[in-house]
A and B are shown apart, each in its own frame.
Chain A
Amino acid sequence: MSKVVSLSEAMASIEDGSHVGLTGFAITRNAVAAALELTRAKRRHLRLTQVIVGLETDLLVGAGCVDRLVYSGGSLDRFGLVHAVNRAIATGTLQIEEYSTLALTLRLAAGSLGLPFVPTRSMLGSSLLDNLRAAGEIVEQTDPFTGSPVLVMSPVRPDVAIVHADTCDEEGNATIAGPRWSLRETALAAARVIVTTERVVLRGTIPPERVVVPGTVVSAVTEVPRGASPTALPGHYDYDRAWLEAHVEATKEGGERFRRYLEGMLEARAVHP
C-alpha cells in the first residue's frame, strides 16, 4: 500500500508535545525541509532525541518549538557552534539530558529491541553521569558477572522519527548512502517513522540488501528533492557554504536577526517546495 503523502500532511501527524527522533549529523543529512515544516506549523513543546545535533535541531530550537533535548552534543563542524541550542541551554529555556554518542545510541538500540535496560562502560566518572543520575534515566550498578562498576540505562522510544533518505519506495523502504551513524537505531526505536526522500521509486526497484530503514516501521513517505539542503547529502549535493555561514551569523546574534533569517528561509522553501 502506498504511504506517499505531502510534506505538510506528513508533518501534521506530529502533535504538540510529541517526542521526535531526528537523524541528521552536524552538517550532513539533516531533515531540513521537515524541520521547516514543523516550524511553519508552529509546533510547540516538542521533546527531541538526536544523537548528534546539527542545523535541523538548531532551527527547531531557535524557532521555539522545543522544550527538551536528549542528545550527546553537536556543532556545525568548522562552520560554528549550534548557537540557538547553546543559548537556549545557557538561558534555561531548553531542558537537556546529555549523554555520550555511544551511550545514547545504545539507549536507542535498547528501545528498538524492546530491552528493559542496557549496560555500558562509557561515561563512568564523568560530569555527564553526575547530571544523568539526577535525571533518573541511569543507575550505577555492579556487573553481576565480574563485580566491576557498570552503568545501566533505560531504553528510549520516540513517538516518531524523521529520516531524510536518498531513495525510498512508496511503501517506505529507504536507502541511505554513506555512513549511517545512529540513524537506523533512532528509526527503529521510534513507534513510527516519517521518511522524506530525494526520490520516491517503485516497490521492487531497490535491491532488498540496500534498504536501511524497512518500510514496515514507516508511516508516511514524502518526496522532497534537496530536502536536506543546506546540509550535505552524500552522492547528491554538497553543503551550502554561504547558507551555513548565514545560519551561524543569524543564530549567533539571535532575536530579530534570527526571526528575519527564518522567515526568509520559509519563503524560499515556499517558492521551491
Chain B
Amino acid sequence: MTQASQPWTPLEMLAVAAAGQVRDGDLAVVGLGLPQVAALLAQRTHAPTSELLLELGVFDPHPTGPSMGIADPRMWEGAAVFGGVLDVLGSMLHGGRVSLGILSAVQVDPDGSINTTQVHLEDGSLRRINGSGGGNDIASLAGRTLVVLRHEPRRFRACLDFLTSPGRAVGGRRRSELGLPGEGTVAVVSDRAVLEVTDEGTFLHSVHPGEDPEAVLEATPYAVQVRPGGPEVTSAPTEEELRLIRTELDPQGWYTR
C-alpha cells in the first residue's frame, strides 16, 4: 500500500480529513474515539469558535491531553458547564441547536445510516458492540452528521446488520417523511477517502494522497458514483496538524496509530 510511504498514518489522515469537515462556529456533539480527536483538531486549527458537547452533560471542554473516552474525566478538563443528558441531548440537540454530529461506525450504508450495535458473524453467532448511546439521538437530530470509520469492505453494507442511527433516508423514506429534522449524514470519512452522501446517492468526493480511486471503489462494495473529472485528492495533513495530534491530542496513538 502506498500509504506506508506517507509521513503520517492512515488514521491520522482520517482524523485530519474529518476535522476538515468541521466549520468554524459549529456546535458539535461528538462520540467516543476518533470523533473526539477530529473535533478538537478542527477547534485548534481552522474552526476556533466551534464548540464541543459531550452527551453526558459536558459543555465546551478544552482537554490538554488524551483520554480513554467521553466518560474519562480527563476529557472534561476546561469545560464551561457540567449538566446532564437532558441539557446536551435534550435542550441543545432535541431543541434544534446542534449543527454537527460526529460519529464513528462499525458499518455504514449508502444513505449514511450506521450500525454500532451488533454484527452477525458468518458462523451465525452475534457479536454485540457498544449500542446506540447518544449516537442515534445525534444522527436523528443534529443539523448534519459526519461518519468516520476504517475503510474495510465488510464495513460498507448495502443492508446493515442493525440500523442503530439513521442517515439521509431509511428504506427509501426520506428524513422528513420519517419525522426527522436536519440533513442527516453528509460525509463518510475513512482512512482512504471522503465519500459525500447526498439525496442522489453516495459520491467519491476525494481520495487521500497516494490512494488509487479504482482501488478505493473496489474496497467499497456498494454503489458509489464519481463526478465528471473524477475525485479530488484530499488535502494532506499539515505539519501543525500532525504536531497537534502527536503531541497533544493523541500522544499515545490510541486512536490514530
Contacts and interface: CB of A to CB of B under 8 A. Distances in A.
Among A79, A100, A182: residue with most chain B CB under 10 A:
A100
Interface residues of A, number: 55
A255 interface: no
B76 interface: yes
Contacts of A28: 71-73
Interface residues of B, number: 57
B141 A178 contact: no
Contacts of B89: 101-102, 105
Contacts of A75: 32, 69, 130
Contacts, number: 184
A27 B71 contact: yes
Among B58, B72, B126, B166: residue with most chain A CB under 10 A:
B72
Interface stretch (A39-47, A66-74, A192-200): A66-74
A86 interface: yes
B227 interface: no
Given A181-B84, A182-B85, A127 B162 contact: yes
A179 B58 contact: yes
B221 interface: no
A182 B173 CA distance: 32
A90 B125 contact: yes
Contacts of B55: 101, 181
B15 to A, nearest CB: 16
B78 to A, nearest CB: 13
A127 B30 CA distance: 22
Interface of B: 32-33, 54-58, 68-73, 76, 79, 82-86, 89-90, 93-94, 116-117, 125-137, 140-141, 160, 162-166, 170-171, 173, 175, 177-181, 254
